[in-house]
């Protein structure tokens, strides 16, 4: 009876107790389903490189996070040492300031008209800074500048300026009365000396113009009054910004040229007259960006 009871008793199924497995987060017990699923997965042979990579995944993630934190700190530190400008002042961060903000700015070069370059003759630069465009109201000086404007056909301004003393000596300091008394022999001797390379036509024109200046002085009181009356005794201010805008002649110069020719002046075309108006300050043709533009205007007002 006891044996039969044992045979009829229900059979208890075998239960496999889960086994503790070592993981990266500590010892934990995996459920039986995970164990069964793991048993069904085929085993794949891993290469040494793959195994090393899988083994070092946790370490690399921690290293990456630390490197990102260090890069963020570096970027923040760079931002902190960058100087900021507020209201024209320099704010120093971490005792670091930009050197360019501390050093004083050096003044730029003096701006002059377009025909003065870094390679220009020093006497030419001085002529621009001290004479060209300055209003002239003295008869001898005006006659000298008229002769120089006529000589521009054979000379350049730097050449004329270097020969200025020779011009003054040969033409009696540009005294119209003295030049008007030059004989034919005296005029031809100026050409023979070789100091001046003026043509015979220009030499005769200078002598004739000196006589015309004396006639103008009798009519208008002075050669200065005759010249300045064309602009109502006030310089014309053109105010050009660029050198290409400055003309070689103007309607005003053409009008003055015709009037002078009617009075016996020679070699006084519109181009010559416009050069004369520029150098004598009757016309202020300094560029507006030139340092002498405002200075010549101020000298006129005083």
List, for residues 200-257, the tens digit of each pLDDT value. Answer: 888 999 999 999 999 999 999 999 999 999 999 999 999 899 999 999 999 999 999 9
Residue 89's beta-bridge partner residues?
A: 86
What are the structural domains of the chain? 122-301 (1.10.340.30)
Percentage, residues of the chain above pLDDT 90? 51
- Ordered alpha helix ranges (H), 152-222: 157-162, 164-170, 176-180, 184-192, 200-220
3-class state of residue 28 by DSSP: strand
Residue 176 CB burial class (10 angstroms; 0-12, 13-18, ≥19): buried
Model pLDDT, residue 113: 93
Average pLDDT over residues 157-166: 93
Average pLDDT over residues 165-172: 91
Q: For residue 295, how many C-alpha atoms fall within 13 Å in the half-sphere facing its CB?
A: 15
Mapped to the 3 state alphabet, what secondary structure does 86-118 carry?
ECCEEECECCECCHHHHCCCCCCCCCCCCCCCC
Specify the higher pLDDT residue, 82 or 220.
Answer: 220
Dig out the tokens for 185 from the structure: 């022999």
pTM for the structure as a whole: 0.64
- Mean pLDDT, all residues of the chain: 76
Considering only CA atoms, which of 215, 217, 235, 237 is closest in space to residue 225? 217
Percentage, residues of the chain above pLDDT 70? 61
Model pLDDT, residue 72: 43
Model pLDDT, residue 295: 87
Q: For residue 171, how many C-alpha atoms fall within 13 Å in the half-sphere facing its CB?
A: 31
């Amino acid at each position: 009876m006891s044996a039969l009871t044992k045979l009829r008793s229900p059979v208890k199924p075998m239960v496999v107790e889960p086994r503790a497995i070592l993981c990266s987060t500590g010892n934990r017990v995996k459920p039986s389903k995970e164990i069964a699923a793991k048993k069904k997965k085929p085993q794949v042979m891993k290469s040494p490189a793959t195994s090393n990579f899988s083994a070092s995944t946790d370490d690399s993630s921690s290293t990456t996070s630390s490197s990102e934190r260090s890069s963020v700190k570096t970027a923040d530190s760079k931002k902190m040492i960058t100087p900021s400008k507020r209201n024209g002042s320099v704010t120093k961060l971490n005792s670091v300031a930009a050197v360019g903000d501390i050093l004083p700015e050096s003044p730029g070069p003096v701006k002059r008209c377009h025909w003065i370059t870094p390679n220009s003759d020093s006497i030419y630069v001085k002529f621009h800074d001290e004479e060209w465009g300055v209003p002239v109201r003295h008869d001898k000086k005006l006659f000298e500048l008229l002769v120089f404007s006529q000589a521009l056909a054979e000379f350049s301004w730097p050449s004329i300026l270097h020969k200025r003393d020779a011009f003054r000596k040969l033409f009696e300091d540009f005294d119209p009365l003295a030049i008007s008394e030059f004989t034919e022999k005296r005029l031809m001797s100026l050409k023979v000396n070789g100091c001046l390379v003026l043509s015979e036509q220009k030499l005769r024109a200078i002598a004739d113009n000196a006589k015309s200046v004396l006639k103008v002085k009798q009519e208008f009181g002075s050669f200065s009054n005759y010249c300045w009356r064309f602009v109502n005794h006030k310089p014309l201010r053109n105010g050009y910004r660029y050198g290409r805008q400055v003309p070689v002649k103007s309607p005003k110069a053409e009008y003055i040229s015709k009037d002078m020719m009617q009075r016996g002046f020679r070699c006084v075309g519109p181009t010559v007259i416009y050069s004369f108006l520029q150098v004598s300050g009757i016309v202020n043709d300094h560029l507006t960006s030139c340092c002498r533009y405002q200075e010549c205007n101020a000298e006129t007002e005083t």
